[in-house]
Amino acid sequence: MSQKPTRLLLAAIQAIIGWEWLMSGGNKLLSGTFPQDLADTLSSMFKGNPDSWYVSFLQSVVLPQSVFYGYLVEWTEVAIGVILLGGAVILLGQPRQKGQAQYRLTLVYSSAAMIAALVGAFLTINFHFMAGGWILPWFNSSAANGEGIDLDALLPPFELVIILAQGAFLAELTQVNWLQRLQRLLPRKHLPSLRGEVSH
């Protein structure tokens, strides 16, 4: 990740995904009525939805508090966009090493980008269930004039790329790999050591 072309590629992916989220959340904010209209939007999507377990969840948990969830969704989408775009800007510069100015800022933005990408993937998957079930892209001759894979289906895989790449970037910056980090967090009795030894 310290190599500039790799950082630029990740910055480009983050900027594109971040811009999509910022536009999605911004459009909801600018409509002025998204939270108040969410109950009607959800109710219209319940008809014919094959995922009865998900419809039941929405009806019992989300629908009674739909205005709250409407505000939560629109502001979360804006936050995801801002964080991913900010993280892309950080990636354009030379990586900061421990002891240098803005080192902690780089760590914070990398961690925030991972969390934002995870939340973004969660929201996208929820939207697909809400819209009638998750459909994996596959060949379909009747859709010859349509798009092969819609943007929403591409978001979770790209967000997974962001999570993995930012994780590698963080490990490189802190010089601590994820197995070592887990060993520090969990008591030794719950985690085998990196040498393959099991503590008793």
Q: Please name the helix (run of DSSP H) or strand (run of DSSP E) that holds residue 105, with its range, or none.
A: helix 103-130
Burial class (CB in 10 A: 0-12, 13-18, 19+), 85: buried
The position carrying tokens 């001759």 is: 141
Q: Please name the helix (run of DSSP H) or strand (run of DSSP E) that holds residue 68, with its range, or none.
A: helix 66-92
Handedness of CA 141, 143, 144, 147 (dihedral sign): negative
Look at residue 187 and tell me whether its pLDDT is greater than 90. no
In a domain, 144, yes or no: no
Cβ atoms 125, 134 nearer than 8 A: yes
Count the Cβ atoms, other than its own, within 10 Å of residue 35.
20
Show Cβ contacts of residue 18 under 8 Å, excluding neighbours closer than 6 positions.
80, 81, 82, 83, 84, 85, 87, 88
The answer to which of 16-20, 47-51, 65-69 has the lowest mean pLDDT is 47-51
> What mean pLDDT, rounded, does the chain reach?
84
Look at residue 170 and tell me whether its pLDDT is greater than 80. yes
In a domain, 198, yes or no: no
Show Cβ contacts of residue 22 under 8 Å, excluding neighbours closer than 6 positions.
77, 78, 80, 81, 82, 85
In a domain, 170, yes or no: yes
In a domain, 197, yes or no: no
Quote the CA–CA distance of 75 and 92 in Å, as a whole number. Answer: 26
In a domain, 59, yes or no: yes
Specify the number of domains making up the chain.
1
> Which residues span the domain enclosing 118?
4-135+150-190
Residue 76 CA, chain-centre distance (Å), reads 11
In a domain, 118, yes or no: yes
In a domain, 142, yes or no: no
- H helices present in the chain, as ranges: 4-31, 34-46, 52-57, 66-92, 103-130, 151-174, 178-185
The answer to which of 20-29, 148-157, 165-174 has the lowest mean pLDDT is 148-157
In a domain, 141, yes or no: no
112-138 residue pLDDT tens: 999 999 999 999 988 888 876 555 667
